Amino acid sequence: MTINYELYKVFYWAAKTGSLSQAAKALYLTQPSVSHAIKQLEDSFGLTLFYRNSKGVDLTPEGSVLYSYIEQSQILISLAEEKMAALKNLDSGELRIGGSDSLFKHYLLPYLEDFHQKHPGIKLHLNHGTTPEIISFLKEGRIDLGVVRMPIVDPQLEVRESFQLQECFVAGKRYTELEGAVLSLDMLLQYPVILFSRNSRARMAITELFESYGHKLKPEIEVGSVELLIEFARKGLGISYVTREFVTKELEEGSLFEIQLDVKLPPSHVGIMIMRNMPLSASTGRFIDLVR
């Protein structure tokens, strides 16, 4: 049996107020419209739902059974409407972001702090991983957006460029004889090189660059975090390939210095990744606007 939801709403207000005129007032209807709606509902069930009394109307036993169910549904609908309003106004909800630890720490942190201050009711969930992992998280619905290094070529995804980073090689005091010198790629390879893990975008990009010049890049040490790249270089374990913006403090204080090369290292582009042709939640859209 399919019955118009509006009939249930009229029934609910008539039962709640005990008055057809009060129900009409609450629903901005005429009293004859309310009476007609109730008759339609009674005809659909083949049951009498109300009987008249001196003050208005009261429920029959069958009407009381129906009201016990309709009342619960009306409460849930009201709660749902309140929840939708809260989500629209960013008073509640959640925002799930995927990205690398280094991007969270060195770039996104101020935006996350700003967003949290403006919308404290939104719960932030940060999922860290490599670019392939972040892509999987997004497609599986585990995150709302990803912050990744470009390019990303996938028809299911839309990537909006957000900012640009510059990669560089850095070394610590153990290699001070290289400070100020300009090295060729061949000369650089005479020293131990420290690289990020194989499945990172930065690692793939620098490997391709060396191959384009006819060199094979074989790292002495591989690590899984930017912090280790920085610390190993500071300790003199080798020359690390890092994002310049992530070692600003170390370069300024002199614990690291940048290795100058006779070839230009291309910048890397970072973008905000979302599912293509999928509607954004209010919190996701607001955060993307903030970062851009």
Does one domain contain both 120 and 236? no
Is the domain of 153 the same as that of 188?
no
Looking at residue 159, its pLDDT comes to 93
> Which pLDDT belongs to residue 175?
97
Same domain for 11 and 68?
yes
Residues 200 and 277 in one domain: no
Q: Does residue 248 share a domain with residue 234? A: yes
Q: Do 129 and 41 sit in the same domain of this protein?
A: no
The structural domain count of the chain equals 3
Q: What is the pLDDT of residue 288?
A: 92
Supply the CATH number for residue 203's domain: 3.40.190.10
Mean pLDDT of 91-113: 90
21 with 143, same domain: the answer is: no
In terms of C-beta density within 10 A (0-12 exposed, 13-18 middle, 19 or more buried), how is residue 247 classed? buried
Which of 58, 88, 118 marks a domain boundary? 88
Contact 220, 194 (CB under 8 A): yes
CATH number at residue 14: 1.10.10.10
- Residue with the larger pLDDT of the pair 164 and 202: 164
Average pLDDT of span 277-292? 88
Domain co-membership, 78 together with 144 = no
Tell which residue, 180, 171, 175, 193, has the closest CA to residue 250. 171
Whether 42 and 29 map to the same domain: the answer is yes
Question: What is the pLDDT, as a whole number, of residue 82?
Answer: 78
Looking at 49, 70, 88, which one is the last position of a domain? 88
**Are 79 and 99 part of one and the same domain?**
no
Tell whether the model's pLDDT for residue 86 goes beyond 80: no
Domain range holding 184?
167-266
Instruction: Render pLDDT for 206-231 as a digit per residue (tens, 0 to 9).
Output: 999 999 999 999 999 999 888 999 99
Give me the percent of the chain exceeding a pLDDT of 90. 72
Query: Residue 1: its pLDDT value, please?
Result: 62
pLDDT in tens, 130-184: 888 999 999 998 999 999 988 888 999 999 888 899 999 999 999 999 999 999 9
**In angstroms, rounded to a whole number, what is the distance separating the alpha carbons of residues 172 and 191?**
13
Peptide bond preceding 151: is omega within 30 degrees of 0, i.e. cis? yes
Per-residue pLDDT tens over the stretch 251-272: 999 999 999 999 999 888 999 9
Closest CA to 263 of 171, 186, 150: 186
Burial of residue 248 (CB within 10 Å: 0-12, 13-18, 19+) is: exposed
- Across the chain, mean pLDDT equals 92
**Pair 81, 119 in one domain:** no
Give the C-alpha separation, 123 to 225, whole Å: 26
Q: What is the Cα–Cα distance from 157 to 132, expressed in whole angstroms?
A: 13
Confidence of residue 83 (pLDDT cuts 50, 70, 90): confident
pLDDT score for 3: 76
Which one is predicted more confidently, 69 or 89?
69
